[in-house]
Amino acid sequence: MKAIYQKYILNFKQASGTSRGILKTKETFFLKLIDEDKIGIGECGIFKGLSIDDRPDYEEKLNWLCQNINTTIDVLLTELIEFPSIQFGLEQAVLSLKSKNPFELFPSKFTQSKEAININGLIWMGNEAFMKQQIEEKLKAGFSTIKMKIGAIDFETELRLLKSIRTNFSSKEIELRVDANGAFNPNEALEKLKHLSEFEIHSIEQPIKQGQISEMAGLCLKTPLPIALDEELIGVFDVTNPSGGRAGKQELLQIINPQYIILKPSLIGGFKGSKEWINLAEKQQIGWWITSALESNIGLNAIAQWTYTLGNKMPQGLGTGSLFTNNFESPLEVKNGHLHYNSTRKWMINL
């Protein structure tokens, strides 16, 4: 068996705003495994400025993987512990190689087009008019859960947008989630959460920056609305903390005790890393859902198929496939607030 990789630049249809700035392009890498006449493909979805493996030796590690591809997968995954997006690309590629159809990694009622996955509609940051336009489009498209990114424009304007939704739709009609991407100052976060709670918000993702464990624990204890950890999970490799250094997964959840955690497989070690978080969260009765991290349809396809097998009925964050001008045509399609797998549509990919 041999392995090769290829860089690919995804171009956003329109610049997308987050609290970290404006995104116009997204770099990703595809790992291909070739064994006689069979090919497997996986996406190593690095996220510049967010991924723990956004480092100068990233391609060097991909090269190392290609040279050592015939080592057992357990050994490879252990060696790649600090490169979670490469771990995930490898997991996908191995499953793809073994599958009858290289894009059908987890055959199910989802891939048979019999069932769909409930997803949230994503509202990107921008000026008030742009955000309002997006909200109207998502409601028109049949989404019953909307996730709004906040923290980049004036907080009063964001509250006004949320109020306008609640004026027209109750919490039973539209579920509202907000994502602060760590934008709040710890000293003002609780007060802002109180204001947000007036609009019956389902949850807020990462209100303060990651790494402030005691402050986040205090917030989760006092918060008037549920808090979901997102970036907080990035870079936490060990389940426990055998070395006496930074907190492991178990300790982090025990200290902070959040209401939810959000799992982005590309950022936390793929299927294996995500499942470790899920098992620990369920022991503590912490809720969870899965979110993509701006992968192309190759990575999104793997995440969606796996997510379906988990049986979590909450709306998932898997609606990012239509953001790019040069994504690959695939069976994935969003209709009425759900992600469908239209098995009559073929993959159009040339890599």
Residue 164 CB neighbours (<10 A): 15
**Token duo for residue 166:** 């609640």
Could you confirm whether 98 is annotated as catalytic? no
For residue 228, what are the CA distances in angstroms to 18, 115, 141, 178, 233?
17, 27, 26, 10, 11
**Percentage helix, strand, coil for the chain under 3-state DSSP, each rounded to 5:** 35, 25, 40
Burial of 49 (0-12, 13-18, 19+ CB in 10 A): exposed
Count of CA atoms in the C-beta half-sphere (13 A) of 150: 29
Could you confirm whether 149 is annotated as catalytic? yes
Q: Which amino acid would we find at residue 128?
A: E
149, 192, 209, 249: the active-site residue: 149
Residue 109 CB neighbours (<10 A): 11
> Which residues does the annotation mark as catalytic?
149, 264
